[in-house]
Structure 1
């Protein structure tokens, strides 16, 4: 299948393109920055470019992974987010429908699920348990607002055209440090987040492959490493997460101590990817148990950490 992959020079794109090629797909990458798998340098906000690309290259399916992300808020005005994340998505959807495509993949984000009250902490019932039914959705920044608007465009176009659309709400997988938390350190924080809100970029890429093969109708999916907890532990997680972690992983505290790491005192939200496993047959290969296994054996950590990573920008060769 000839696939148009937007964001092909970005962190997800550079991992997803080789997997698509290995499965026999012909990948046409489109990005604002040059890259190994980017054939076309340009913006999805350029409607003529989008339509010409899909027609000229005989594209059969679109994977729309390109976007401005949360760290880009400090570098771009709100209008740029609307142009790229909303108008760009509409351009791709309408071009795909015009070309008669049967399927469309949209990379969204769990960030749009984080309302102000979620950001402030746990509810009275304990950790927020966040699956595809979680709501109401009230994004707290321009990134989340534009991704939610793009999701709704996906739903409208899918309903009106019959084109199958998978909306993949990915948890955290980027390699840079968190832009709001200085402690714990980057690798420590990433390990902690695999308990409840993170996945590796490799697993994110594999989820896109699964959706491309099995997409039906219009469905949203939360993508994260499978949490080791149950909903019955939500209240305890919000009060004393270390006791809950010790129940599931008795040696976690000792392994962490050897690294000079700390376990989270509280876990106030948990992303639940069960629907993706049920409907797409996808389950993240790397989880918190994988981290502990690496620490026990002295192996490299099973996720990337690069504090210097910055999303590619126009004119930047990578």
Structure 2
């Protein structure tokens, strides 16, 4: 297939573009920043450019991973988020269904961040008695910042275009896979690697798994039509663990992984005292047919 990947110079794009090329696809990478996985430097906000690429390159599938992200809140105003995350998505969708277009599938990279309200974000500090179990049935969604609001609006555009034009669209709400440090409600003194390892229990995946989820979504989009999936490492936790997770997360982890404390001690690592949310990615496993390869057990087994 001829595939347009937006955000091709980003962390996901750098992994996804070569992965798709390895399968024999012709990939056109679009990003405002030049890079080895970007063939066209430009923005999804440029409707003329989007039209030229989709029509001129005979694009058959679109992976829309370009976005203004949460870290950009400190450096970009709200209108920039609307322009890129909402108008940019609309440009791609409209050109995908325009006369002469060959696009027959669309995969949108969304975020689990839009599912986190301020109340959830405050967690135990806000008086929560148990961790929040998060799956695709959660409603109403009340994103807490401009990033989440615009990504939710873009999801709704995807739903609308499937409804109006029968364009197959799959929305992937990915949890954390970026390498940078992030603001943590569960602040600990140890390294970022310690934090990331802990997060594989309930809110993280590897960038390789994120890319693979998009590959699977491209293959399954026409069969499914439209759907939304949380993409995150499968959690070992169960719903009945939620009260204990917010009160004493290390004890819950020890029930599932009795040797984790010994392995963590060898690195000087610690577990979060509390876990305020758990992303349930079982729908992706059951409906999409995708499960992350990397999980907490694999991370634990890699520790000496």
Return the TM-score normalized by structure 2. Answer: 0.95
Report the Cα offset of residue 37 of structure 1. 1.8
Q: Tell me the equivalent position of 2:261.
A: 253
Report the Cα offset of residue 243 of structure 1. 0.9
CA contact (8 A) 2:58 2:102 kept: no
Secondary structure at 2:302 match in 1 = helix
Report the Cα offset of residue 179 of structure 1. 3.7
Q: Which of the numbers 97, 114, 117 marks the counterpart of 1:115?
A: 117
CA distance in 2, matches of 1:119, 1:37: 35
For the pair 1:163 / 2:198, whether they are aligned, the reply is: no
CA distance in 2, matches of 1:104, 1:213: 11
Q: Tell me the equivalent position of 1:312.
A: none
- Structure 2 gap ranges (5+): none
Can you list the C-alpha shifts for 1:224-283, whole angstroms capped at 9, x where unaligned? Answer: 000011111111111111111001101111111111111111111000111111112110
**Aligned length in residues:** 296
CA contact (8 A) 2:229 2:283 kept: yes
CA distance in 1, matches of 2:230, 2:155: 13
CA contact (8 A) 1:71 1:179 kept: no
Report the Cα offset of residue 178 of structure 1. 1.1
For the pair 1:212 / 2:245, whether they are aligned, the reply is: no
Q: Tell me the equivalent position of 2:202.
A: 196
Report the Cα offset of residue 86 of structure 1. 0.4
Report the Cα offset of residue 183 of structure 1. 2.9
CA distance in 2, matches of 1:179, 1:273: 23
For the pair 1:58 / 2:58, whether they are aligned, the reply is: yes
1:88-103 to structure 2, matched below 5 A, reads 88-98=88-98, 99-103=101-105
CA distance in 1, matches of 2:220, 2:120: 32
Return the TM-score normalized by structure 1. Answer: 0.91
Q: Tell me the equivalent position of 1:147.
A: 151
Report the Cα offset of residue 174 of structure 1. 0.2
Q: Tell me the equivalent position of 2:181.
A: 177
CA distance in 2, matches of 1:9, 1:15: 9
Can you list the C-alpha shifts for 1:205-231, whole angstroms capped at 9, x where unaligned? Answer: 000001000122210000100001111
Report the Cα offset of residue 154 of structure 1. 0.4
Secondary structure at 2:303 match in 1 = helix
CA contact (8 A) 1:167 1:219 kept: yes
CA distance in 2, matches of 1:124, 1:294: 34
Report the Cα offset of residue 101 of structure 1. 2.2
For the pair 1:292 / 2:294, whether they are aligned, the reply is: no
CA distance in 2, matches of 1:271, 1:225: 9
Q: Tell me the equivalent position of 2:290.
A: 282
Secondary structure at 1:121 match in 2 = helix
Q: Which of the numbers 215, 222, 235 marks the counterpart of 2:230?
A: 222
- Structure 1 gap ranges (5+): 297-318
Report the Cα offset of residue 125 of structure 1. 5.8
